[in-house]
A and B are shown apart, each in its own frame.
Chain A
C-alpha cells in the first residue's frame, strides 16, 4: 500500500518546479500538457529489496527542505517492465519535513518478491542532500545512505488517453564522454505497469517506448531519470518525453520546442540544414539508408545547437616519414579555430546569423605523394572519394552533416596530371583537399594552413572567387580570403584577416569607403562584380556574394536543396527531396544517384549565376567534382 500523496500536494511541487526549473515544461493549460520534464541531473538513489511474504518495508528521505523536494517509488521486479507498488511525493502536513518522501509497503502476495526502490528529487535546484533510512522487522531503522545528493530528475506526464511515450536521455556533459543514465516511466496507479531502461538509447543513454495510460486529469505518469552510478556528480543529461503535438513534424514536440527556444512551426529553426531533432539527438540512420532505425549518429557531443547555425568539418591527415600533416600539431591550431569562430561571429556580412564552426581533427593515414578527386591508379595517389567511403576514416553517418577534408601532400588534377595546387574543393559541396607538401616544412606555414583551409571551406559554402580569380582582375575591393589576391596569406594580420569579408574596403591600402557601384572611391580599383553598397557605414562589395552562403551540408554527402534534408524537408524542395529519397529507398545503384545529383547541382549552380567551365567544372566521368580551387 502506499502512503499516498494528495493531488494538491503534487500540484504544489509542480509549481515549485516551474519556478525553479532550468527547463521543466508544463503547459499553462493543464488540460493538455503532454510534455514531461527537462533538467540537468545526476544521481538517483536505487536499491533492490527482497521481501518475504507479509514482510514490511518502510523507506523515507530525511533532511529535506524547500529546495530538497524528493519523491520515492517502489517497483516490483527488476526487468524492463515492473509494477508500481508504492510511491510518495510529499509526506504531508503531519510530518515535520513535508517535502520529504515516505513509503510503507507490505508484501501481501503469497511469494517472496524482489522490489526496487527509487528516490529522486524535483529539478531546478542544486540537488537534495538527504539521508535515506529504511525499516524492516529484521533490521529496525537503519540508514541506507547518509548525505546522498540526489540530482535525478523527475516530472509528470500528462496525456489524454493512452499514448506512446518515448523518452530520450541526452548527454550534455562538461567533461566529455557519455552520461550513463537510467530511466523510469512510472504509472503511479498501484499495480500498474511501469517501464525501466538502462542502455537502449544512444550509447549508455536510455530510451523507453511504452504505451501507458497516462491520464490528463490525474497526472499519474512520472518520468524519473538519473545517472547509473549513484556517486556520479559531474555528468549532466536531460530526459525528455516525446509525445504530444509536433506541428512542424521534426520529431521534437511543441512543448519541448517552447522551452528549448526552437520554433514549433519550423523543423530547422536555425536554417543550417540540420533539423531541430537532428541537432538535439543526432541523425537517424534511416535518413541515410531508408530502413535502418537502429543507429543514430552520435554527434551531439560536438556541440550542435538548434538555434545557432552549425558548421561541421572533419579533417583527416596524412603522415609521412619526416613530416605530419596533422594541423593540430601546429601550436597555433587553437588560434586557427578561434579565428574561424571569430570570422563567423563578427563578419559584418553575417549580420543576423550566428554560425558555429566545429572542426574535428580526426584520423591519420599513411601519406601518398598525391591526393585527387577521382581515381588515378598508382600507389602514389590517394583517391579522395575512395578514402572517404572507407568507414575506417569517415563514418558514413556523418555524411549529411560534416564537410570532409584530407590534408595530404601534393595534388593531382581530376585528369590525373600532377599539379602545384595547394587546395581544391567542391563548390557548394562538402569535400576539401589541402595539399601543402610543397610548402614550408612540407606542411605549410601557420598562415598558409589557416588561410588555405578557410578559402577552400568557402567554396564548400558556395562562395566563388567573386570575380577575383584571374591575375588581371584580383581587386583590393574585395577584402576576402576568397579573392586570389589574399587567398594564401589573408588580407591583413589583424584578427579575421583571413576572413571571407571585412565588410569594408578600408582594410586594404588604397581602398576607401565611399561606394560607387563597383568600387570604393577614391580607389580606381574596381570590383569585377557590381554590387558594392554601404554597410554599417562602410563600402562593402562582398555582400552580394555572401547572400549566397549556404551552410546546408549536402544530404548523404551529396547535396540538398534549400535547407532541405533527405530525412526532413518541411520547408524546402519537397519534390527534390522525394526524388533523392527514392534512390535510397529503392536501393538504386550509386552511379545513377550521383549522376542525378550532379545534374541537379549543375542546374542550381547555373540558376545562381555560376558559369560552367568558368566558376565550376563537371567531371565527365564521376560527375562529382564540381570544383574550384
Chain B
C-alpha cells in the first residue's frame, strides 16, 4: 500500500460518522511509472466503513477512491476540480512532415469530428499560470483517413498529467458537441486506440436521458445512468448524485466530484465524476466525467 493509501486508512479510523464505503485501490505513484492493471480491482458494489470527509484530491485516482456516502445528511458538495485533462484540435501549430490540413470537421456540426491519425511528433511543454503551471502535450498527427493525408495537432492540457504517446502510434480521435436546447449542449472528446480501446474520454454537460443518442456511439457499450440518492448540494442549490457507468455486468458508481477506479470493457479505468447534478433549469440529471485508461496518462516530474 502506498503512503497515500495508508493515510486514507488512518483518516477512516478516526471517523465518527457511519458511512458506506465505495472501495479502495492502489497504484504506483512514481512519476512515469507504468500503471499495471491488478487483480485487486473490484467493482464498486463492495462496501466498508470509512470517513465522510471529502478525500484529498492530491492522490492518484485509484488511491482516492471516491467520496463516501453519508447516511442521513446531505453535505455541501466539495469544490469542483478542473477536468484533469482536456484536449483541443488545432491545425496551425502542426510541425510534422505532412501538409497541414485545410480544416478539420466542426465538432458542433452534424456528428462532429471523427478521424483516424498517426502520431508524428510529441512535444512536452509547461506553461506557467498565475498560480502553478499547466502541462501541455502537443501531439502532432497525420490524418490517415483522408486523401491526401494531412497534419494537425492535438493539445492535451492538464495541471497534473500527460498522455503516454509515441510517434507512430495510431489513434482514433473524436469530438462532438450537440446543441439541443437551452441547457443542453452535451460534448465529448474521445481518444481510442487503433484496436478500439477507449484510452481517454471527456464527457461534459450531458443529460443522462439522451447520452446514448447524442454521444453513445463514440464510447460503444457504455451505459450512463445516475443514482437517485442525493450525495450533496451544490452552491447554487442543485442536487448532486452519483454517476453510474456500466459496460456489461456490474456497475461503477462514482459520486459527483469524486474519482475512483472502475472496470469498464473489462479493463481498468480511472473515472472522475466532475459533475453529476440536476441543474436548476434542467429536468434531467446532467453528467460530466472523464474516463482514463489506467496506463494512458502519467504524472510528469
Do these two chains interact?
yes
Binding site for B on A (CB under 8 A): 321-323, 366, 368-370, 376-381, 410, 412-422, 437-442, 445, 448, 465, 469-471, 474, 484, 487-489, 613-614, 617, 619-621, 628-629
A-B contact pairs, 7 of them (CB 8 A): A322-B93, A322-B153, A369-B134, A415-B234, A415-B238, A420-B187, A484-B182
Establish whether residues B134 and A380, one from each chain, have CB atoms under 8 Å apart when the complex forms.
yes
Main secondary structure of the interface of A (DSSP, over half): loop
- Residues in chain A near residue B183, CB distance under 8 A: 469, 629
Rounded to whole angstroms, the CA-CA distance of A351 and B180 in the bound complex is 31
Q: Which of A379, A439, A619, A621 has a CB less than 8 Å from the CB of B107?
A: A439
- Residues in chain A near residue B106, CB distance under 8 A: 439-440, 445, 448
Establish whether residues A418 and B83, one from each chain, have CB atoms under 8 Å apart when the complex forms.
yes
- Residues in chain B near residue A378, CB distance under 8 A: 79, 81-82
Rounded to whole angstroms, the CA-CA distance of A439 and B179 in the bound complex is 12
- Residues in chain A near residue B186, CB distance under 8 A: 420
Rounded to whole angstroms, the CA-CA distance of A620 and B76 in the bound complex is 14
B window 56-115: CB within 8 A of A: 79-83, 86, 88-93, 103-109
- Residues in chain B near residue A620, CB distance under 8 A: 235-237
CB distance from A193 to the nearest CB of B (A): 57
Judged by a CB distance under 8 angstroms, whether B280 is at the interface is yes
Establish whether residues B157 and A441, one from each chain, have CB atoms under 8 Å apart when the complex forms.
no
- Residues in chain A near residue B89, CB distance under 8 A: 440-442
Rounded to whole angstroms, the CA-CA distance of A440 and B107 in the bound complex is 7
Binding site for A on B (CB under 8 A): 79-83, 86, 88-93, 103-109, 125, 127, 129-132, 134, 136, 138, 153, 155, 157, 159, 175, 177, 179-187, 189, 204-206, 210, 234-238, 274-275, 277, 279-281, 288
- Residues in chain B near residue A415, CB distance under 8 A: 80, 234-236, 238, 277
Best-surrounded residue of B81, B103, B180, B274 (most CB of chain A within 10 A):
B180
Establish whether residues A417 and B275, one from each chain, have CB atoms under 8 Å apart when the complex forms.
yes
Establish whether residues B281 and A613, one from each chain, have CB atoms under 8 Å apart when the complex forms.
yes
Rounded to whole angstroms, the CA-CA distance of A381 and B274 in the bound complex is 15
Establish whether residues B79 and A416, one from each chain, have CB atoms under 8 Å apart when the complex forms.
yes
Establish whether residues B181 and A469, one from each chain, have CB atoms under 8 Å apart when the complex forms.
yes
Write the chain A residue with the least CB distance to B131.
A379
- Residues in chain B near residue A614, CB distance under 8 A: 281
Rounded to whole angstroms, the CA-CA distance of A439 and B181 in the bound complex is 18
Establish whether residues A369 and B86, one from each chain, have CB atoms under 8 Å apart when the complex forms.
yes
Contacts A322-B153, A368-B129; is A441 near B91 (CB within 8 Å)? Answer: yes
CB distance from B240 to the nearest CB of A (A): 9
Establish whether residues A421 and B205, one from each chain, have CB atoms under 8 Å apart when the complex forms.
yes
Establish whether residues B277 and A417, one from each chain, have CB atoms under 8 Å apart when the complex forms.
yes
- Residues in chain A near residue B180, CB distance under 8 A: 471, 484
Write the chain B residue with the least CB distance to A621.
B235
Establish whether residues A380 and B82, one from each chain, have CB atoms under 8 Å apart when the complex forms.
yes
Establish whether residues A442 and B82, one from each chain, have CB atoms under 8 Å apart when the complex forms.
no
Rounded to whole angstroms, the CA-CA distance of A377 and B81 in the bound complex is 9
Contacts A321-B136, A322-B153, A380-B129; is A629 near B187 (CB within 8 Å)? Answer: no
Contacts A439-B177, A620-B237; is A369 near B157 (CB within 8 Å)? Answer: yes
Rounded to whole angstroms, the CA-CA distance of A440 and B89 in the bound complex is 7
Write the chain B residue with the least CB distance to A474.
B181
CB distance from B155 to the nearest CB of A (A): 6
- Residues in chain A near residue B92, CB distance under 8 A: 322-323, 441
Establish whether residues B155 and A442, one from each chain, have CB atoms under 8 Å apart when the complex forms.
yes
- Residues in chain B near residue A445, CB distance under 8 A: 106, 108
- Residues in chain B near residue A414, CB distance under 8 A: 235-236
17 other A-B residue contacts (CB within 8 Å) besides A366-B129, A442-B89: A322-B93, A368-B130, A413-B236, A417-B275, A419-B185, A420-B186, A420-B204, A420-B205, A439-B108, A440-B104, A441-B104, A469-B182, A471-B180, A474-B181, A617-B280, A621-B235, A628-B182
Contacts A440-B106, A469-B181; is A410 near B236 (CB within 8 Å)? Answer: no
CB distance from A367 to the nearest CB of B (A): 9
- Residues in chain A near residue B277, CB distance under 8 A: 415, 417
- Residues in chain B near residue A377, CB distance under 8 A: 79
Write the chain B residue with the least CB distance to A380.
B82
Establish whether residues B235 and A416, one from each chain, have CB atoms under 8 Å apart when the complex forms.
yes
- Residues in chain A near residue B157, CB distance under 8 A: 369
Establish whether residues B189 and A438, one from each chain, have CB atoms under 8 Å apart when the complex forms.
yes
Rounded to whole angstroms, the CA-CA distance of A250 and B98 in the bound complex is 64
Establish whether residues B107 and A323, one from each chain, have CB atoms under 8 Å apart when the complex forms.
no
CB distance from B13 to the nearest CB of A (A): 30
Establish whether residues A438 and B175, one from each chain, have CB atoms under 8 Å apart when the complex forms.
yes
Establish whether residues B179 and A484, one from each chain, have CB atoms under 8 Å apart when the complex forms.
yes
Rounded to whole angstroms, the CA-CA distance of A234 and B290 in the bound complex is 61
- Residues in chain A near residue B237, CB distance under 8 A: 620
Rounded to whole angstroms, the CA-CA distance of A415 and B189 in the bound complex is 23
Rounded to whole angstroms, the CA-CA distance of A411 and B127 in the bound complex is 20
Establish whether residues A417 and B234, one from each chain, have CB atoms under 8 Å apart when the complex forms.
yes
Write the chain B residue with the least CB distance to A421.
B185
Write the chain B residue with the least CB distance to A324.
B92
- Residues in chain B near residue A323, CB distance under 8 A: 88, 90, 92-93
- Residues in chain A near residue B105, CB distance under 8 A: 440
Rounded to whole angstroms, the CA-CA distance of A628 and B91 in the bound complex is 32
Write the chain B residue with the least CB distance to A417.
B275
- Residues in chain B near residue A442, CB distance under 8 A: 88-90, 155
- Residues in chain A near residue B187, CB distance under 8 A: 420, 438
Write the chain A residue with the least CB distance to B183.
A629
Rounded to whole angstroms, the CA-CA distance of A369 and B184 in the bound complex is 21
Establish whether residues B90 and A441, one from each chain, have CB atoms under 8 Å apart when the complex forms.
yes
- Residues in chain A near residue B175, CB distance under 8 A: 438
- Residues in chain B near residue A484, CB distance under 8 A: 179-182
Best-surrounded residue of B157, B274, B288 (most CB of chain A within 10 A):
B157
Write the chain B residue with the least CB distance to A381.
B82
Rounded to whole angstroms, the CA-CA distance of A423 and B59 in the bound complex is 33
CB distance from B133 to the nearest CB of A (A): 9
Establish whether residues A376 and B80, one from each chain, have CB atoms under 8 Å apart when the complex forms.
yes
- Residues in chain A near residue B81, CB distance under 8 A: 378
Write the chain A residue with the least CB distance to B204.
A420
Contacts A380-B159, A438-B107; is A619 near B182 (CB within 8 Å)? Answer: no
Q: Which of B80, B104, B125 has a CB less than 8 Å from the CB of A417?
A: B80
Write the chain B residue with the least CB distance to A377.
B79
Rounded to whole angstroms, the CA-CA distance of A416 and B184 in the bound complex is 17
CB distance from A498 to the nearest CB of B (A): 14
- Residues in chain B near residue A471, CB distance under 8 A: 180-181, 184, 210
Contacts A439-B177, A440-B107, A613-B281; is A465 near B236 (CB within 8 Å)? Answer: no
CB distance from A620 to the nearest CB of B (A): 6
Write the chain A residue with the least CB distance to B180.
A471
